[in-house]
Amino acid sequence: MNKSLDNIKLLQGNEACVQGALLAGVRFFAGYPITPSSEIAEGMAYYLPKLGGKFVQMEDEIASMAAIIGASIGGLKSLTATSGPGFTLKQENLGYAIINEIPCVIVNAQRGGPSTGLPTKPAQGDMMQARWGTHGDHSIIALAPSTVDEVFWLTIKAVNFSEKYRTPVILLLDEVIAHMREKVIIPEPEEIEIINRKKPTVPPEEYLPFKPDQDGIPPMANFGEGYRYHFTGLIHNQKGFPTSNPQEIDWHLRHIYNKIKQNAKNITLYQRHFLDDAKIALIAYGSVARAAERVVKLAREQGIKTGLLKLLTIWPFPEEELSRLANQVELMLVPEMNLGQIVLEVERVVRGKCQVISYNRVDGELINPEEILLKIQEEIEK
């Protein structure tokens, strides 16, 4: 190991999120503490003032979401952190950020739900809410780490994606990942790729704030630096003013939808474990992927050719890779700490090309490897 001991830290998932966000350039945090995400707010309150950034503890989750939108429009990379109940409250303003193409990151450390649910226990019940929680047609990016090191790197990715594609990005943790401690090697700043939003290259009088470049993404001027523009939650034209022109409406909706869909290849991150000769594929994400990794080992010890597709990007859904895999394996098993959410997407993509089954646990406990292995054995014997 050539890193000095100072760079190796034993960090909680939430602490790694803070370190990643700060290195990615986040300088504004507004939030309302909620278990199991509170250590993110705590870390931000400690570090941001030292770095010339701003930490604001807001009156509630709705206002927190509004505040990070405002800060981002002003030019700061912004992040908020919450859990299920707060994520629900943020949905309205999340839609506002989507329609106005405002870069920001929302961390949701998932706990049991609905409502107040199980504050201190893990769940993966907000996967579909991350996709469709706010109303209307839209795209979204959502990432789900399964190790503390991945929390660090995917937080940086989340900030980068938000800046690159002018979109909110959701980082989906769960209580296990948020609170567990593992080693993270903190890289030097120059080892990290940092993406900053594109600024306009035209003079202020020619600037159209919602007119995309060739790459589909409109350049974004900081509010108050001389480029006049307008924000509204209404469907708007390229100037930012409300429109009821069918052509402009259609264009706007398709634009915010397609800018992410067209870049899906660059956004969908996943890891393949022992899939080359696999007949059974586990599809897992978040803390459950850690149990699945063990299952692969245990199953192979018994001669069952099992592999794992670990999803790091949940939205956009990695359709291509799954579709390819469906031609190879006989069975896909999707273990989740919910009653079957991502399995629905797997079924949609697989289209009956292989068998898809679900394994679910919603009692506030992390799924353990033995129970998944048992499920595989049962299926084989059928």
Partner 1 sequence: MKERIEVCLSGAGGQGLILAGIILAEAAGIYEGKEVVQTQSYGPEARGGASRSEVVISEGFIDYPKVTKSDILLVLTQDACDKYISKLSQDGILIADSSTVKDVPALSAKTYRAPISKIAQEKLGNKLVINTISLGIIAGLTHLVSLESLRQAVLNRIRPRVREINEKALLLGYEIAQKMKLEKN
119: tokens are 């504050």
Dihedral Cα 245, 248, 253, 258, nearest 10 deg: 160
Helices first, then strands: H and E counts in the chain? 13, 15
Q: Which of 51, 60, 136, 181 binds partner 1 (CB under 8 A)?
A: 181
Q: How far is the CB of 7 from partner 1 (least distance, A)?
A: 10
Q: Smallest Cα–Cα separation from 138: which of 174, 107, 92?
A: 92
Binds partner 1 (CB under 8 A): choice among 45, 62, 249, 366: 366
Ramachandran angles phi, psi of 180, nearest 5°: -75, 150
Q: How far is the CB of 183 from partner 1 (least distance, A)?
A: 5
- The minimum distance between CB 367 and partner 1, in angstroms, equals 10
Binding span for partner 1 by CB under 8 A among 21-29, 134-142, 176-184, 340-348: 176-184
Calpha distance 332→343 (Å, rounded): 9
Q: Which is nearer to partner 1, 61 or 293 (CB)?
A: 293
93-132 residues in contact with partner 1 (CB under 8 A) are 120-121
Residues 53-92 that bind partner 1 (CB under 8 A): none
Nearest to residue 16, comparing CAs of 210, 173, 251, 228?
173
- What are the helix (H) ranges across the chain? 13-24, 38-47, 61-73, 84-99, 127-132, 148-165, 175-179, 246-261, 264-267, 288-301, 319-326, 342-350, 369-381
Residue 133 in contact with partner 1, rule: CB under 8 A: no
> Token pair for residue 5?
């001991």
Which span sits near partner 1 by CB under 8 A: 4-12, 73-81, 332-340, 350-358? 4-12
- Give the separation between CA 190 and CA 23, rounded to whole angstroms: 10
Least Å distance, CB 111 to partner 1, is 11
The 284-323 site mask, x for binding partner 1 (CB under 8 A), equals: ---x--xx-xx--x--------------------------
Site for partner 1 contains 192 (CB under 8 A): no
What DSSP string runs through 230-273?
---SS-B-TTS-B---HHHHHHHHHHHHHHHHTTHHHH--EEEE
Looking at 89-97, 200-208, 275-283, 367-375, which segment touches partner 1 (CB under 8 A)? 367-375
Contacts with partner 1, 320-359, as mask; x by CB under 8 A: ----------------------------------------
Number of residues engaging partner 1 in binding (CB under 8 A): 23
CB of 176 to partner 1, least distance (A): 7
The reply on whether position 261 binds partner 1 by CB under 8 A is: no
DSSP assignment of 53-76:
-EEEE-SSHHHHHHHHHHHHHTT-
Choosing from 196, 258, 302, 368, the residue that interacts with partner 1 (CB under 8 A) is 368
Using the minimum distance from each CB to partner 1, give the nearer residue, 6 or 59. 6
Closest CA to 66 of 74, 46, 211: 74
Smallest gap from Cβ 35 to partner 1, in A, equals: 9
User: Tokens for 13?
Assistant: 């998932």
Stretch that binds partner 1, among 137-145, 200-208, 337-345, 363-371 (CB under 8 A): 363-371
User: Is 20 in contact with 153 (CB distance < 8 Å)?
Assistant: yes
Q: Which chain residues interact with partner 1 by CB under 8 A?
A: 1, 5, 8-10, 120-121, 176, 179-183, 287, 290-291, 293-294, 297, 366, 368-370
